[in-house]
Amino acid sequence: MTTRIANTVTWVTPAAQSHPDQSDIDYAPNYEKWQARAARRLAAGGLETKLPQGFPEELEGKLVWDGKILAETYDWIYVLKDEQLAEIDEAVAYFQEENIMIYAGLSAHIAPQRGRQDQKYDGKSADVVLSHIKDLSRSDPDKIIGSPAYTTDKQVFHTDSGDLVSLFVLETALSGGASKLASTWKVYNEIARARPDLIHTLTTSWDYEMFVPS
């Protein structure tokens, strides 16, 4: 998987080595591989045809939406008024540290508590509540980068922790940088309709590895 800017390859995410007992699933979704896996599973048969007990056949409400619905209304966007912007201008001068203050101040008006984003800062233990999303592929001498968020590579659909997640964007990217959103209720409805067996899979216990220093 490669990200190109101005026809120059800036970062290539290293391919992970698959375990022989694991499905051939990469970090970045591959539509053809997904189709092949789904076809093999359907051909094997024995799948659940009904949802688990207590699970709704379909979710209804404002949380079920798609791109067309969002494009019809902008009531989900809050635009700061001139007097609100003036208040921010009077308080700070928009240097890097002050941009952080603006972000923290605006966040405090939305929610009084902040989640823990990370547990280390500058190689030391710390309760980090804010992270800078920037390309570290050129500046990190050890190239120890745990997420595509810190490269020029794209990220896949994922769920961030916390009730409210926000991004404070300093400027528009020269290229790329677009974000995509999805309604989890809409996703549930599609899975419940087409593959109820997968709802069973998602409701079972999941084992996962924790990588911690020895």
What is the domain partition of the chain in residue ranges?
A: 46-65+183-203, 74-110, 115-171
How far is 181 from 157, CA to CA, in rounded Å? 8
Angstrom distances, CA of residue 131 to CA of 16, 109, 115, 127, 165: 25, 19, 11, 11, 12
**Tell me, what's the pLDDT at 7?**
42
Q: Where residue 213 falls among pLDDT bands split at 50, 70, 90?
A: low
64: which 2 tokens?
């079920």
More confident residue, 202 or 212: 202
Q: Where residue 1 falls among pLDDT bands split at 50, 70, 90?
A: very low
How far is 45 from 168, CA to CA, in rounded Å? 48
**Which pTM does this prediction carry?**
0.70
What is the sign, positive or negative, of the torsion defined by CA atoms of 69, 75, 78, 79? Answer: positive
How far is 17 from 30, CA to CA, in rounded Å? 16
The vertex-101 CA angle with 100 and 103, nearest 5°, equals 65
Q: Which residues contact 11 (CB under 8 A, 6 or more apart)?
A: 2, 3, 135, 137, 151, 152, 153
**Tell me, what's the pLDDT at 154?**
79
How far is 108 from 104, CA to CA, in rounded Å? 6
More confident residue, 97 or 196: 196
